[in-house]
């Protein structure tokens, strides 16, 4: 079933959903099940599975020269989605990115998803490969998520790349990313919002936000979206902080700020256990307030570790 149908069927109740990462290459799918099972009691209507593009490493050849090798550390997004649907009878939302894909590869990936009975896709641009400073689209691919949305909408209309004739239409519900604190490459929030509006006008059905730790940022973002004519559901994304490393990694990697009160309390933490306890406490506070405000769904970034999310969900759902 499509995510938007789930939201409609909830009739105003806040749904619970979460996101997982495929395991590192060579690891068993059991680690995915171990992450999902503790959260099933909260009745997730959909589970997102992230997509991880290729990285480049240098290997020393026998003659001493360096060889640039492409590797994907976390393949398996589509297979995991199919396994989730099969094992738990819960809808899975694969993330699909522009980076590294030609339009034809995107089309073929979407055909696979369609054949597997997957009705949802989160359409993203993706980031630059780790060894490059800026995002570079595939020569015959998409430069922005909006173009990927266009392609999915065309397939939903039965328009594939190769032909003018109308083919079997797909039926994807399309989610896109939104950034309450602005995407890091955007000039400012209004221009970022203009591009977000383009994604929605192109046919995106809902938005999932980047993680945030200050609910005010989310509420203001929703108000601005509405003022700019973006009227689709906006699902807030939450991540419980868990380790001392997170205190610098999350702001740096995700380009988000911790609010003063949280930052002051994090500074007092001396161990990962203390950070984890604070992360849970903060997550409960955030989630309760969002639920009281009537958000359609709260989407948790588990990073494939469900313990903190379970403790939060127990208090909130």
Q: Are 91 and 172 in contact (CB under 8 A)?
A: no
**CA 184, CA 253: separation in Å to the nearest integer?**
10
What's the min distance (Å) between Cβ of 99 and ligand FAD? Answer: 7
How many residues at the interface with ligand FAD, by CB under 6 A? 22
CA 171, 91, 40: angle at the middle one, nearest 5?
Answer: 170
Question: Is residue 97 near ligand FAD by the rule CB under 6 A?
Answer: yes
Q: Are 49 and 22 in contact (CB under 8 A)?
A: yes
Which residues, including other chains, have CB under 8 Å from residue 191's CB and lie 6 or more apart?
none
Among residues 296, 255, 303, the alpha carbon closest in space to that of 279 is found at 303
CB nearer ligand FAD, residue 197 or residue 285 = 197
**CA 187, CA 179: separation in Å to the nearest integer?**
13
What's the min distance (Å) between Cβ of 233 and ligand FAD? Answer: 13
Which of these ranges, 81-89, 112-120, 182-190, 220-228, lies near ligand FAD under the rule CB under 6 A?
182-190
**CA 120, CA 93: separation in Å to the nearest integer?**
5
What's the min distance (Å) between Cβ of 184 and ligand FAD? Answer: 7
> Torsion angle, CA of 18/29/148/133, rounded to 10 degrees?
90
What's the min distance (Å) between Cβ of 316 and ligand FAD? Answer: 20
Phi/psi at 241 (nearest 5 deg)? -70, 145
Place of tokens 């997550």: 283
Classify 8 as helix, strand or coil: helix
List 85, 186, 189, 244, residue binding ligand FAD (CB under 6 A): 186
CB nearer ligand FAD, residue 33 or residue 144 = 144
What residues are paired with 16 via a beta bridge? 298
Place of tokens 């699902």: 235
CB nearer ligand FAD, residue 107 or residue 192 = 192
Question: Is residue 51 near ligand FAD by the rule CB under 6 A?
Answer: yes
**CA 262, CA 107: separation in Å to the nearest integer?**
44
**CA 41, CA 245: separation in Å to the nearest integer?**
30
Among residues 156, 200, 159, the alpha carbon closest in space to that of 178 is found at 200
Site string for ligand FAD, 261-300 (x = CB under 6 A): ----------------------------------------
**CA 312, CA 285: separation in Å to the nearest integer?**
9
What's the min distance (Å) between Cβ of 114 and ligand FAD? Answer: 19
CB nearer ligand FAD, residue 44 or residue 278 = 44
What's the min distance (Å) between Cβ of 28 and ligand FAD? Answer: 21
Respond yes or no: is residue 19 known to be catalytic. yes
What's the min distance (Å) between Cβ of 61 and ligand FAD? Answer: 30
Residues 204-243 that bind ligand FAD (CB under 6 A): 208, 210, 237
Q: Which of 5, 19, 105, 147 is catalytic?
A: 19
Residues 140-179 that bind ligand FAD (CB under 6 A): 144-146, 177
Question: Is residue 195 near ligand FAD by the rule CB under 6 A?
Answer: yes
Question: Is residue 124 near ligand FAD by the rule CB under 6 A?
Answer: yes
Which of these ranges, 22-30, 121-129, 225-233, 278-286, lies near ligand FAD under the rule CB under 6 A?
121-129
**CA 202, CA 122: separation in Å to the nearest integer?**
14
Catalytic residues: 19
Residues at the contact surface with ligand FAD, assessed by CB under 6 A? 50-51, 53, 95, 97, 124-127, 144-146, 177, 183, 185-186, 192, 195, 199, 208, 210, 237
């Amino acid at each position: 079933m499509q995510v938007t149908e789930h939201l409609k069927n909830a009739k105003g109740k806040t749904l619970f959903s979460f996101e997982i990462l495929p395991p590192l290459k060579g690891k068993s799918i059991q680690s995915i099940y171990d992450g999902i099972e503790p959260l099933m009691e909260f009745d997730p209507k959909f589970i997102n599975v992230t997509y991880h593009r290729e990285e480049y490493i240098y290997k020393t050849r026998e003659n001493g020269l360096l060889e640039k090798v492409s590797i994907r550390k976390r393949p398996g997004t589509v297979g995991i989605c199919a396994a989730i649907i099969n094992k738990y009878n819960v809808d899975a939302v694969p993330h699909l990115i522009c980076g590294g894909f030609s339009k034809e590869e995107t089309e073929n990936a979407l055909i696979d998803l369609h054949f597997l009975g997957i009705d949802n896709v989160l359409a993203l641009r993706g980031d630059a490969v780790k060894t490059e400073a800026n995002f570079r689209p595939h020569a015959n691919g998409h430069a922005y998520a909006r173009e990927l949305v266009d392609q999915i909408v065309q397939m939903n209309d039965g328009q594939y790349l190769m032909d003018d004739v109308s083919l079997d239409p797909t039926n994807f519900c399309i989610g896109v990313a939104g950034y309450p604190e602005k995407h890091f490459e955007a000039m400012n929030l209004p221009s970022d919002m203009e591009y977000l509006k383009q994604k929605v006008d192109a046919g995106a059905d809902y938005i999932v936000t980047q993680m945030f730790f200050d609910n005010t940022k989310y509420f203001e973002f929703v108000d601005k979206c509405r003022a700019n004519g973006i009227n689709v559901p906006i699902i807030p994304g939450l991540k419980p902080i868990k380790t001392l490393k997170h205190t610098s990694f999350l702001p740096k990697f995700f380009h988000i700020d911790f609010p003063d009160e949280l930052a002051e309390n994090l500074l007092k933490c001396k161990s990962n256990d203390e950070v984890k306890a604070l992360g849970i406490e903060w997550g409960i506070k955030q989630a309760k307030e969002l639920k009281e405000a009537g958000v359609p769904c709260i989407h948790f970034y588990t990073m494939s570790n469900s313990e903190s999310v379970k403790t939060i969900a127990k208090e909130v759902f």
